[in-house]
C-alpha cells in the first residue's frame, strides 16, 4: 500500500494492509502499520502477551519465516470515534490442507496518530468448531 494511502487511510485501509502484509510475509510492511508507541500489544492464540515493537517484531519474524499467512477477515463488527476504532472479526485461515474445524476470533484496535490510523492492539483467540455463518441482511425494515 502506498505511503500516502497509509497516512491518509482509514482503519479499514490499515486492516486490509495488515492482512496483505501477512499474506506476503512482509515483516517491514506489517510493522509499519503499528503505532510508534512502546505500549502496543499483540496476543496470538494460546500465546503470551507481547508488548512493544521488539517483542512483536521478533515473534512475527519467526511466524513469517515459514512464508505468508493466508487469512481472510470476515464478519467485521466495528465501533469508531474520532480517535479510536475497534474491529472484532472472524479470521478464516487457509491452511492449504485438511485441518480440524476451528476459527479465530480477533480484535484489532486502531488509534489515529500524527501518521494516520495505526494498530495499537491485535488479540486473537482460537474457537472450536466451524465459524458462525454470516447473517443475511435484507433491505426490509421491521416495525
| pLDDT tens digit sequence for 79-123 | 999 999 999 999 888 766 666 556 899 999 999 999 999 999 999
**Total domain count for the chain?**
1
Beta bridge partners of 62: none
DSSP letter assigned to residue 137: P
Residue 41, domain extent: 3-128
pLDDT level of residue 137 (50, 70, 90 thresholds): very low
DSSP letter assigned to residue 34: B
Structural domain includes residue 142? no
Structural domain includes residue 11? yes
pTM: 0.83
Structural domain includes residue 68? yes
Residue pair 52/35 in contact by the 8 Å Cβ criterion: no
Contacts of residue 21, defined as CB under 8 A and 6 or more positions apart, other chains included, come to 27, 29, 30, 33
- Segment among 29-38, 50-59, 71-80, 114-123 with least mean pLDDT: 71-80
Structural domain includes residue 49? yes
CATH number of the domain enclosing 32: 3.10.450.50
Amino acid at each position: 500500500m502506498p505511503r500516502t494511502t497509509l497516512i491518509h487511510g482509514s482503519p479499514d485501509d490499515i486492516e486490509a494492509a495488515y492482512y496483505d502484509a501477512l499474506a506476503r510475509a512482509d515483516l517491514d510492511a506489517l510493522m509499519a502499520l503499528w503505532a510508534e508507541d512502546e505500549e502496543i500489544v499483540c496476543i496470538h492464540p494460546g500465546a503470551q502477551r507481547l508488548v512493544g515493537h521488539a517483542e512483536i517484531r521478533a515473534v512475527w519474524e519467526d511466524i513469517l519465516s515459514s512464508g505468508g499467512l493466508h487469512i481472510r477477515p470476515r464478519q467485521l463488527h466495528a465501533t469508531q470515534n474520532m480517535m479510536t476504532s475497534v474491529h472484532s472479526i472472524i479470521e478464516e485461515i487457509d491452511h492449504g490442507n485438511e485441518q480440524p474445524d476451528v476459527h479465530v476470533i480477533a480484535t484489532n484496535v486502531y488509534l489515529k496518530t500524527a501518521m494516520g490510523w495505526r494498530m495499537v492492539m491485535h488479540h486473537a483467540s482460537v474457537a472450536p468448531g466451524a465459524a458462525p455463518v454470516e447473517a443475511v441482511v435484507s433491505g426490509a425494515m421491521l416495525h
